[in-house]
Amino acid sequence: MAAGRPPVRRLDPDTINQIAAGEVVERPASVVKELVENSLDAGASRIHVEVRGGGIQSIRVVDDGWGMGPDDAGLALERHATSKLRSAADLATVATLGFRGEALPSIAAVARLTLVTRPPEAVEGTEIRAEGGRITRRAAPSPPGTSVTVTDLFYNTPARRKHLRPAAAEAAAITHAVTALALAHPRVAFSLVHDGREVLRTPGSGQLAATVAAVWDPGAARRMVPVDGGLGKIRVTGLVARPETARASRARQHFTVNARPVESTAVAAGLERAYRTLLPPGRFPAAVLHLMVPEGTVDVNVHPAKREVRFVDPAAVSRAVELAVTEGLSRAGAGPLLAPGAPPAAGSRPEPRTEPGVQVADAGALYAPWDAPGPGRDDPAAGAVMIPEAQRAPVTEGAAQVDFERLEPLGQVLDSYIVARGPDGLYLVDQHAAAERLVYEAALDLKPGGPVSQALLVPVALELDPEAFARWESVRGDLEELGFAFEPFGAGRELLVRAVPYVLGETADTALVSDVLDLALRGPAEPDPLARREEFGRVLASCKAALKANQALSREEMADLLRAMGRARQPYYCLHGRPTVLRLGRRELERRFGRG
């Protein structure tokens, strides 16, 4: 052997087990998910989950499923021992949730684990304890079913434990996992307790609407319509929200494929197309969709954590979802709908597109005339079309400066664009884009400890879903520093919002406050204070500025908006890089009227 070259060695069993555990046990939520899925596969009708310290201190999952006898219980702690597979061929058609082999040995490799189980026909149960590779077994009293207790997660792998997030964030991830499984299995009664406080309880009645009411709130369930349809052998059932109840995030979209909660771009795309004529950009419907597809047409082995699946024909799946949701909305009379794939009505024009690239430009430099030949044109009937970036006439910074104080508002076009007269021409201002920029900059200027709050004339009462409530407890301090004032009330997940950041205004209504909190509570937990402030600014801007689209404004309101743009640090772009203002100068006006 060459000097310095290490020899090849077999790893010891403990190291092998810890490596294998890394594929299954990412964080406390993955432990909960694996254990609950085992309970579901065991035919449980009731599943109770209790965690402490975000699952880092302890996790306990109790079910009333089939249970195991002494021999099976002992084998369950051995690697690659499972009741769910017999050969490699079973991997292609697996119908259970736990398809890689039981998770118990992987969990036992990185935590202290106690398993107590009894099948209904047995008179006594079996207790298995596993710690540091040592396994003991004894007879023990037990009700029918199985309980698994996991404590001190990653106690023997401190590097992995060090990278866990704070307990409240881990608790939120656990809540998300249990919520997804509860919505996927409405026949099962779930309960979830964090640090002695119950945050979720579902009835297990088999009625999806009852489960939605328990997970979110009864009002949300009443505002959803049933879906039952599909395409060919693909069946789609579930509930979707009416368009008027759309939210600012996709947080309330849950999909299952053959009873397995998944993330799927194909399903999401089909849902989005069903609402394409009903919702403005940035609004998303709540949806719980259950898909049943033939075995062999979906691969569940493509993601280590079983979150994603691969379809043989994703286009057919997407189309099935679109058809089923569209039909469900139509039956419920939930708004005017185009038939899926139908062309726009004759004579209608698509909205012109805007793109980033310049600060403020003459309209002639940005748009091709309807009757002008050249690249970048579409059908003249479609109206003005963007010229490609490389062919635009750039505008220098000096020429791009606008004296917003001297702009005189004349009126609005389409209740979305302010028409203003200036000393050097006519200006068009996108009121939504302008409001978005102004709210964002105001949020960045919020000073901790300063006068950032605006007391609400009427406090807003909100009922958070379990996941949002768990996350709120972890970010409450940050939100209060930014200007919110909260008061928990009731025994459940209710909050009374008494004050909001002043940029939202004293008349902020329930929908606006709910949207802001929804996005703030779903976003990433930025460690840097400035990054948190910027993210919060984007949240406020997207929600507050939405009130400025398709909204009639008085002449005074238009003037106030223009003056505020004059005080902005960067008034020429919205947060997405689109221009906020266009100018029609003298030369362009004269050219358009054939005078130039």
Per residue in 266-279, pLDDT tens? 999 999 999 887 77
Average pLDDT of span 530-536: 62
Determine the pLDDT at residue 567. 84
Amino acid identity at 425: G
Are the CB atoms for 175 and 27 separated by under 8 Å? no
Residues 410 and 299 in one domain: no
Residue 383 forms part of a structural domain: no
Determine the pLDDT at residue 453. 76
Are the CB atoms for 66 and 211 separated by under 8 Å? no
Least confident of 89-103, 240-254, 538-552: 89-103
Residue 336 forms part of a structural domain: no
Determine the pLDDT at residue 532. 59
Amino acid identity at 63: D
Residues 271 and 408 in one domain: no
Pairwise pLDDT comparison (24 vs 569), residue with the higher score: 569
Determine the pLDDT at residue 438. 81
Helices (H) and strands (E) in the chain, counts: 18, 24
Last residue of a domain, one of 201, 232, 251: 201
Determine the pLDDT at residue 168. 86
Residue 3 forms part of a structural domain: no
- Nearest alpha-carbon partner for 436 in 322, 281, 324, 293: 281
Total domains in the chain come to 3
Per residue in 411-436, pLDDT tens? 988 888 999 999 888 999 988 888 87
What the block records as the tokens of 535 is 């993210």
Residues 187 and 239 in one domain: no
Query: Which residues on neighbouring strands pair with residue 131, listed in sequence order?
Result: 134
Average pLDDT of span 234-257: 90
Residues 420 and 569 in one domain: yes
Sign of the C-alpha dihedral computed for residues 153, 158, 161 and 166 taken in this order: positive
Residues 190 and 276 in one domain: no
Per residue in 47-59, pLDDT tens? 999 999 999 999 9
Least confident of 234-238, 291-295, 308-312, 572-576: 572-576
Average pLDDT of span 449-476: 76
Residues 460 and 527 in one domain: yes
Last residue of a domain, one of 285, 315, 331: 331
Determine the pLDDT at residue 179. 95
Last residue of a domain, one of 153, 170, 201: 201
Q: What CATH number is associated with residue 430?
A: 3.30.1540.20
* Cβ atoms < 10 Å from Cβ of 486: 16
**The overall pTM is greater than 0.85:** no
Residues 443 and 498 in one domain: yes
* Cβ atoms < 10 Å from Cβ of 177: 24
Contacts of 326 (CB under 8 A, 6+ apart): 274, 337, 339, 340
Give residue 33's pLDDT band: very low, low, confident or very high (50, 70, 90). very high
Location of structure tokens 């990278």 = 163
Query: Which residues on neighbouring strands pair with residue 500, listed in sequence order?
Result: 454
Residues 233 and 93 in one domain: no
Pairwise pLDDT comparison (384 vs 447), residue with the higher score: 447
Residues 28 and 80 in one domain: yes
Q: Is 126 helix (H, G, I), strand (E, B) or coil?
A: strand
Residue 572 forms part of a structural domain: yes
CA distances to 40, 132, 136, 162, 409 from 111, rounded to whole Å, are 22, 8, 15, 15, 67
Amino acid identity at 157: T
Residue 210 forms part of a structural domain: no
Residue 269 forms part of a structural domain: yes
Average pLDDT of span 232-239: 95
Alpha carbons 453 and 484: distance in angstroms, whole number: 7
Per residue in 361-417, pLDDT tens? 333 333 222 222 233 323 323 322 232 333 333 232 333 478 888 899 999 888 889
Average pLDDT of span 547-572: 82
Residue 367 forms part of a structural domain: no
Are the CB atoms for 571 and 437 separated by under 8 Å? yes
Residue 382 forms part of a structural domain: no
Domain that holds residue 467: 356-360+395-596
Residues 69 and 139 in one domain: yes
Q: What CATH number is associated with residue 290?
A: 3.30.230.10
Are the CB atoms for 181 and 261 separated by under 8 Å? yes
Residues 169 and 230 in one domain: no
Residues 186 and 322 in one domain: no
Q: What CATH number is associated with residue 69?
A: 3.30.565.10
Determine the pLDDT at residue 590. 83
